[in-house]
Each structure stands twice: as C-alpha cells, then as structure tokens.
Amino acid sequence: MFSNRYVRTIILSRVLLQLGVWIRNYAVLLYITEVTNNNPVYVSLISVAEFSPIFLFAIIGGTFADRWRPKQTMVWSDSLSALSVVAVLLAIMNGGWIALLIGSFVSASLSQFSQPSAMKLYKRHVPGEQLQGVMAMSQSLVAVFTVLGPVIGTFIFIQFGIEVPLVLTTVLFLGSSLVLSSLPRDAEEPRSGEADSFIQELTAGMRYIGSNQQLRTLSLTFAVVGLAAGLTQPLQIFIAIEQLGQDKQFLQWLVMTNGAAMLVGGIAIIGIAKKVKPQLLLMVGLFVSAICTIGIGASTMILLTIVFLVISGLFYPCIQGGIQTLIVRNTEGAFIGRVSGAITPVFMGMMVIGMFLSGYLKDTFSLLTVYVFSGSLIVIGALLLTPIIAQKRSEATRGPAS
C-alpha cells in the first residue's frame, strides 16, 4: 500500500493533522476547564464547537468533493484551518477565551471539505483489493493518536500554557497543506448523471441514499448511536474526577488506555475483516460498546474502569470497520462524497444534540444515569441493524439455491 504515492502522501498529511488537532483539543479542554472551574456546560460546549460542523457542513463538503478537484480542496482547507488558529491565538493574547470555541468551530468546518476529498482520492487511485486495507490503516492511525495525542497535548499545555499549543497547531496544519501540494495535479472527472449544479447534485445524492435500503438503515442506526455517543463524550473528564477521584490530568491515561486497545483491535480487524460480514462486525461492536458504556458509568474502581475501556477499545474498530465497509460496498464511486457527507451528519448531528444535553442531564440526574441511558440507546442502534442482517442471510440462502 505504501508503494502508492497517494496513500503515502495522504497518510503523512493525516499524521500532521491528527497531531495538530489533538494538541489543540486538549489545550482547549484543559484551558477552559481551568478558567471556568470545571463547569460541565462549558465543557460540553467545547465538544459542540468541535463536532457540530460535521453536522452542518459534511453534506456540503461531500457534494463539493464530487464537484471540485480533491487535491486543491484539501490544500486550501488545511491552509485556511491554519489561518483560523492564528486568528484565535491573536484573540487569546487579548484575553478572549471564547475565541477558542469559535476557532475550533471554524477549523472543524473546513475539515468537512478535506475529508471527503481524501476519500475521493482513495477511491480514484487505490486498487479495489487494497481499499479496505487502506481504510483499516487510516483507523489505526486515529487509534495511534488517541494514545499519543492526549499525552502530548496535556504535556505541552502544562509546560507552556495555551499559546504554544496553538502555534504548534498552526505549523502542523500548514505542514499538511505543503505535503498535499506535492501530489500530481488533479484530473478532471465527469460528473454523475445530468446534474450540473450544486443543488442538483446534492439532491441527486439524497435521492440515491433514499433508494438504497442498506444506506437508509445505516442512517437510522447512526442517528440513535450518535445520540448515545454525544451524551457521554463531554463527560469523560467527570469519570476521572468524580467517579475515580482523580484530577483532570488523569483523563489522558484513560484515553490513552482506550486508544492503545483500539490500536490492537484495529490490527486484528485488518486480519479478520475479509472473513467476517461487515454488518455482523458492526452489530457485535455496538453490543459490546453498550455493555462497556454502562460499566464505565457505574465503576468507581480505577482497575475496573480500565478493563471496560480496554474491552471497548478492542471492539471499537469493529464499529468503524463495519461502517466504512458497508458504505464503500453499497455506494457507487461517483456518489461516495455525497453519501459519506450525508450519512456522517446523521450520526454527528445527533451526537451534537447529545453533547449539548449531556451537561444539563448530568446536573439534573447523575453521571451514572446518563451513561446507562447512553448504553441503552446503543443497544437499540444494534437492533436496528436486524433488517440488514436478515436481508444478507436471505441473499446468501438464495445464492446457492439459484
């Protein structure tokens, strides 16, 4: 796979971006918890600022990925993200910490134009038999930085404050833009169907999803699971502080443990992905995630919490591997940007709603109640996949008979 120039270049770009994002995110998280005295509402707003653009702009970015030249789109997106961090740095130097939320929102918005374009380049330049391996490698990369990112981000913030992490983030984003600029010039690609305007192509993409039962079912599952994920995502820091009685810096070790397990699970998935049906992989991953979510919310022992985090991390690649494989296998190449850009907002939109509600629900009820509710929603999401599994079984039964 690394003999492919596009794979090498995009992976290197993602390394720089992931490092920059983790440094920025942890610096922002620790800085805002510091200046707001661990206010759960402001902590949840950080996640809203970082994830809501995926809901707002993913479908737009996905449609443009099918229209624009992907290399050019990625270069400009990363360059503008760097400029947005510079603007935030200037605001911070003048005492405006709210600008951190705005800057995170802008940077995450721009990434919605870059990510579908990377998928487009993979679809265009990576052979079909290597595509699943490239996807698995991309997920492993995310897992690596889930391990390293919190440690690096926390260390830099503790040592240097908020300004240095923002400067480093700017440099890393610019580095990603320069790396991508080394790719060959984009080739023109014919547009799908007769759609010749943005609105027409966006509408065509939505009709395509609506006519595909597999993609419709995935959208419904993503909505429920996204809400569940959003309810707990901003509250992880309170697992460390309230449930385990540690300081906020202890969160990095919990995240690192989960990320290390994700890396091991991702490597394992590369080996078994071709042998296990993706819909079954996804359902198993969701059931295990539900059990671990409830366990993490209930545990008051560090060792038990770590056990749940390890198990959850090992099976998390089942969810991502199943999702990516189902999308790629059930989507034509001309629609890949719009499909990923339409289904992702379903998940992320509900996740943002969950993140917005999480702080209030914790204050109204309890941390455990929120985690139990989240786990129950994940179970519902897994059960919603039943029609896909039934359909695949029916097709497999009819296949030999015919």
Which whole-number Å values give the CA distances from 122 to 127, 256, 294, 304, 328, in the listed order? 9, 29, 37, 40, 11
Q: What is the pLDDT along the chain (402 residues), one digit of tens a residue?
A: 667 888 889 889 988 988 988 888 888 888 888 877 777 777 777 777 777 777 677 777 777 767 778 788 889 888 988 888 888 788 777 766 677 778 778 877 877 777 777 777 877 777 766 666 676 677 667 767 766 777 788 888 888 888 898 899 999 999 999 999 988 886 665 554 444 576 777 777 778 877 887 888 888 888 898 899 889 988 888 999 999 999 877 887 888 788 788 878 877 776 676 677 778 888 899 999 999 999 999 999 999 999 999 999 888 878 877 777 777 777 776 677 677 777 767 777 787 788 888 988 998 889 999 999 999 999 999 998 888 777 767 766 665 555
Backbone angles phi, psi at 184, to 5 degrees: -60, 160
Q: Would you state the structure tokens that stand for residue 70, as one six-digit string?
A: 């992907």
Q: Spell out a b/e string for 249-270, using b for 16 or more CB atoms within 10 Å of the CB, else e.
A: ebbbbbbbbbbbbbbbbbebbb
Contact between 156 and 165 (Cβ < 8 Å):
yes
Whole-structure pTM value: 0.68
Contact between 288 and 315 (Cβ < 8 Å):
yes
**CA-CA-CA-CA torsion for 145, 147, 149, 155, nearest 10 degrees?**
-160
